[in-house]
Amino acid sequence: MPDLPSIYLITDRKQIPQDKHFLRVLEELLAAGVGMLQLREKDLSAAELLPLALQVRRLTNKYSCRMLINDRIDVALAVDADGVHLGGHSLPPTIARMLIGPDKLIGASTHNIDEVFAATDQGADFVTFGPVFHTPSKAAYGEPVGLEKLQQACHQKTIPIYGLGGIKPENTPDVKQAGADGIAMISGLLCADSPSSSYHQFLKNFDF
């Protein structure tokens, strides 16, 4: 099983506060110690994503942070990312594995226990599970699954689970208590007044 960090940063450059710069916020978080990042910029075409992915690859290499690309296996290969993160509309993990090879990471988004089992059977290395709480970042996603469902999934899973959706420093201990191996966040890190302080707070609250 890969040795994964307890915090997984997911990007959405559109959520960066107006007075800040996306790559500078990312660099602050990487310098603070974020060890795994998913570039998730779903509105960009492959041609638009590539130059951004190359810039993020340079930064993640500088700070020894693992970088996964959301959905786009082609772009992940093009920038020599550490892996891909697959959603419900992506190619299945079995096919992704054939394309990117045995040494890359495959993450999969899941929303119920059946999806966790399916992702596991298909060779994903880890899953995100959510949305655990209400999240402004993905309001269209529907009702939160809640801590109880997360806990049930954590009791039955055989690969690492990251709780995702509405994770804040104050609910982080509950997510840990439910059995999650880690927490995944967009706004909790990217939109914080001080992203680096926020990262340290999450770390402290998760690894209590």
**DSSP β-bridge partners for residue 161:** 127
| CB closer to ligand 3NM, 11 vs 60 | 11
Q: Are 11 and 28 a contacting pair, CB within 8 Å? A: no
Task: Give the N- to C-terminal CA distance of the chain in Å, as an integer.
Answer: 23
SS3 assignment, position 10: strand
Q: Does 138 bind ligand 3NM (CB under 6 A)?
A: yes
Q: How far is the CB of 173 from ligand 3NM (least distance, A)?
A: 17
Q: What binding mask, one character per residue, do residues 93-122 give for ligand 3NM by CB under 6 A, x or -?
A: ----------------x-x-----------
Q: Does 10 bind ligand 3NM (CB under 6 A)?
A: yes
Q: How far is the CB of 87 from ligand 3NM (least distance, A)?
A: 7
Q: Does 185 bind ligand 3NM (CB under 6 A)?
A: yes
- Which positions ≥6 away from 48 have C-beta within 8 Å? none
How many Å apart are CA 45 and CA 41, to the nearest integer?
9
Please compute Rg for the chain using Cα positions. 16
By the criterion CB under 6 A, which residues form the site for ligand 3NM?
10, 109, 111, 128, 130-131, 135, 137-138, 141, 164-167, 185-188
